[in-house]
Chain A
């Protein structure tokens, strides 16, 4: 299995809702990442997990809450989002502490209404 699987592919949520994005990989990668991508812009790093511990938080607002329950799974919990948070949310994984490439999922398209 050489894929990163993200669910759901599309999500529409209201500003008072709570929802979660899920990311899964079975490549034995011990580093996992969340990126946010607005239309026509490059992906922006949000969080990095290394060996299931949060190692980098790029000053992301607390309405985004990451979780890494085990080495294969990464969640992003969403609460009280704003319309400007609408974007493509990308998950990626890689070998930790190595220089090989990252594997990205195809993303979750989030719309906040």
Chain B
């Protein structure tokens, strides 16, 4: 499986935007970029995914570099409830490739 690299931890002030980076230099052409987050004492929660174009949903935006070797998850206005571990994961789209493999993620702390 292609690997991702994320900072171990980040801090951000409440009500400010947060940019969480992810490097994936060995991404293949059929790999989708997925983001999940895990709040304390909960299971992971799907945030967003994309292939080539930038994506927006009600939770976040995903900005994908033109060469697809990196991406950034953007939380537009952080709240205390956004404090979590954020995982950037590459997932193949080939038939039978149902594996979602988690890396170490970024622990996001929100400062009130």
Residues in A lying within 8 Å of B, measured CB to CB: 4, 31, 33, 42-45, 48, 50, 55-56, 90, 92, 94, 96-97, 99-107
Contacts and interface: CB of A to CB of B under 8 A. Distances in A.
Interface residues of B, number: 26
Given A55-B96, A99-B32, A99-B49, A90 B44 contact: yes
Contacts of A104: 43-45
Given A42-B105, A99-B93, A101-B34, A48 B99 contact: yes
Contacts of A92: 43-44, 100
7 contacts: A4-B43, A48-B99, A55-B98, A56-B99, A97-B98, A99-B51, A106-B41
Interface of B: 32, 34, 36, 41-47, 49, 51, 85, 87, 91, 93, 95-96, 98-105
Contacts, number: 59
A105 B103 contact: no
B105 A105 contact: no
